[in-house]
A and B are shown apart, each in its own frame.
Chain A
């Protein structure tokens, strides 16, 4: 079924279908799909994607009988289980969880940082059927762990989450995506950091081969705030990680990092985009990938420095290791700079595992496979050792061991 049919048929079930403004906006989006379509040739962000899954899909959504849970296990330590993208409302003196509202939709649709031609974000706006909003209240220091669970096969989840960190707050957020069914999730996270707030965001992705995950985030940072994002992608199914960050007030910082492990026929598309709109801001974009078998990956990174954003520091790094003849990696690290007092750089390397290093280890009695595994582990060691949460570090170590066991 095509997009238009899906929309007309399920119009009433989608969020905010009563709101006229939103309806008009959605009609506009439909027009974009009709006119532009998914033009793979002129839109490089669609590279390597099996579009059929996303154009000809069958819209299906149900509210599960299993309800979501929120624990407040220790002081300042919350666990949330979100089921099919929904979450119960909750409120105490530190955090508040609610459903998303009409105004949250508008707030996003007017945002132009996310490129107009990002069709997957448009799809999300069009079919929005779930999502929640979390507010961290002033000057609180909170830890939250969210497990995203999908209950059934063939569901299409279009989810939008809002995270707001109020002034002086600090949030440590761990999100887990581990699904074993054939569903598709299209998730948009809109993150706002108020003055002097801080968010450490970890995303652990480990889905089965038939589960598609499209995750897009848009964060905006106000004065003295800092957003750190770390993506660990062990998925065997398709994953799209597109993350946009806007530094809108002075002295803010964005750090977008990711590592991905691919094998078999899997594909993964990554993008990070940092827009410097104020002075004295810093950004860092680092992605590392290991590609085995016939896997394919793309990574687009972009640092945009506005004319007013003097004293900017912006760094990008992309590293890829190809383990097999059939793997391919495409990277495009872009710099767009309109201010003169800046320090910006990017580096990018793609290649095999260093033969000299293998030789060194083998000459000390190690087998070739053992040597390869050690070198892969050391390639991403920096990312792994920076995890200060012991429990999470253990989870990721286990997944790494699982991936390495398939490396020959």
Chain B
């Protein structure tokens, strides 16, 4: 094991959540609870046109009739939707600051603690950051350079104001508001998120990135992200999450929609590290995320990569609808659960077009008293001639109180399509462990090394900026429960 990993282990050896601090900023909130007034309040605060409000209210009326999906292998107390604040924006941000000097210095401090120095990142990483602190975009960097190429990268609120045609055309086109109760909820009350449009033939020169952060107590975070890649374009998008330490469970129900037109490619990477609750299973984020991509045009490609280490509950299935002929969908996932965490995650690949291909690599690691489930569906519709899928899901169990489950659904209605699925579950190989120990590593280091190797297939899919962070995250997540 290299010295860097050792240092990291030492740094985090107290096994406390690193990002568990709270910035004190006055919040401006509507009353608790969800009703038409709340939605009108949000819409008013965001200065939205009337058609948007109507859209939200329609989603709300659908939500009222819906029940939460019950099929996931999760148990949690019933969510009281009337006990949540649906809007929280730091005061004085109704008019956006033009540059960082206008931003509340306390916020800047928070980001610095999180290790996202905006100033430095501009120069060093070449990443344009659209930072979401609670629900309002605070600062957008690198905008000028992107604008030159015609790329639109802004908050969804801004896009509703400035690009209503695109929003009207694409918002809800991949995840309809009435898809299930969490998507309806999000459609009704979403406050912010990112909007990306890559024009025809443009390859986005940098990784676009957004850092989300939940801050105010009892505030659900409802982001809405919409990425459109026009013909022949390419974009890589990074999403990373951290959240401060809280005792009350916080609800998070984001919707992410991707649309790839002819010959376009979208790469979407996530490192999710919301607060998972403490050793006794108290607190933690409830993360109910709907992510779906549509390969609308021929030869388009959508690739999801995720590293899930946080959240008390993860309910997340980044999916691809492969509609265009020759389109490709990919899903790479590492899910690590520790203590009392529960994760039910996987993907859904729907093959509609001819010669469509999909690949699923999923690695689950369960520790402590956690439950980790892979749930995936691969379906070939009647016209998906010569479609192909390859699925591999492996689970690793560490300790005798956790569970690892695999629930794949495989449906083929086409006799030229080929589907291959394999899965395995086991504990860490004693021989490998012995080999490492023999060479002087202690038990924890050895486990960390083996687990990192186990995940490598997925981690190498991450962009450079994330790959390093993710590797550390994997090691940290194993902390304290090994041996």
A335 near B412 with CB under 8 A, answer: no
A348 near B410 with CB under 8 A, answer: yes
A336 near B410 with CB under 8 A, answer: no
Q: Mark A314-337, 1 if CB is under 8 A from B, else 0.
A: 000000101111011111111111
- With an 8 A cutoff between CB atoms, is B422 at the interface? yes
- With an 8 A cutoff between CB atoms, is B40 at the interface? no
Contacts of A337 in B (CB 8 A): 395, 397, 403-405, 425
The count of chain A contact residues (Cβ–Cβ below 8 Å) is 33
The count of chain B contact residues (Cβ–Cβ below 8 Å) is 33
Most chain A C-beta atoms within 10 Å of own C-beta, residue among B407, B412, B427: B412
- With an 8 A cutoff between CB atoms, is B382 at the interface? yes
B427 near A332 with CB under 8 A, answer: no
Stretch touching chain B among A220-228, A240-248, A338-346:
A338-346
Contacts of A339 in B (CB 8 A): 397, 400
Interface residues of B in 395-435 (CB under 8 A from A): 395, 397-427
A338-B403, A352-B418 as given contacts; A346 in contact with B411, CB under 8 Å: no
Q: Mark B380-404, 1 if CB is under 8 A from A, else 0.
A: 0010000000000001011111111
A348-B419, A352-B415 as given contacts; A342 in contact with B397, CB under 8 Å: yes
| Cβ 8 A contact of A324, one of B400, B405, B408, B415 | B415
Nearest A-chain residue to B403, judged by Cβ: A338
A337-B395, A348-B421, A350-B410 as given contacts; A322 in contact with B404, CB under 8 Å: no
Nearest B-chain residue to A348, judged by Cβ: B421
For the complex, give the distance between the alpha carbons of A385 and B281 in Å: 53
A346 near B419 with CB under 8 A, answer: no
For the complex, give the distance between the alpha carbons of A172 and B417 in Å: 40
B426 near A325 with CB under 8 A, answer: no
- With an 8 A cutoff between CB atoms, is A349 at the interface? yes
A335 near B399 with CB under 8 A, answer: no
B414 near A334 with CB under 8 A, answer: no
Nearest B-chain residue to A315, judged by Cβ: B424
- With an 8 A cutoff between CB atoms, is A10 at the interface? no
A335 near B404 with CB under 8 A, answer: yes
Q: Mark A385-397, 1 if CB is under 8 A from B, else 0.
A: 0000000000000
Contacts of A330 in B (CB 8 A): 409-412
- With an 8 A cutoff between CB atoms, is A347 at the interface? yes
A331-B410, A337-B405 as given contacts; A349 in contact with B419, CB under 8 Å: yes
For the complex, give the distance between the alpha carbons of A310 and B399 in Å: 12
A328 near B412 with CB under 8 A, answer: yes
Contacts of A327 in B (CB 8 A): 415
Contacts of A342 in B (CB 8 A): 397, 425-427
Nearest A-chain residue to B421, judged by Cβ: A348
For the complex, give the distance between the alpha carbons of A278 and B156 in Å: 55
Contacts of B415 in A (CB 8 A): 322-325, 327, 352
B412 near A344 with CB under 8 A, answer: no
For the complex, give the distance between the alpha carbons of A343 and B403 in Å: 14
B407 near A334 with CB under 8 A, answer: yes
For the complex, give the distance between the alpha carbons of A332 and B413 in Å: 15
Identify the 5 closest CB pairs spanning chains A and B, nearest first.
A322-B415, A351-B418, A340-B397, A345-B424, A348-B421
List 5 A-B residue pairs with CB atoms under 8 Å apart, sorted by A's residue number: A329-B411, A336-B405, A342-B427, A344-B425, A351-B417
Residue ranges of B at the interface with A (Cβ–Cβ < 8 Å): 382, 395, 397-427
Given contact pairs A342-B427, A352-B415, a sample of 13 additional A-B residue pairs in the complex whose CB atoms are under 8 Å apart: A325-B382, A328-B412, A329-B412, A332-B409, A334-B406, A337-B403, A337-B404, A337-B405, A342-B426, A343-B424, A345-B422, A345-B425, A350-B412
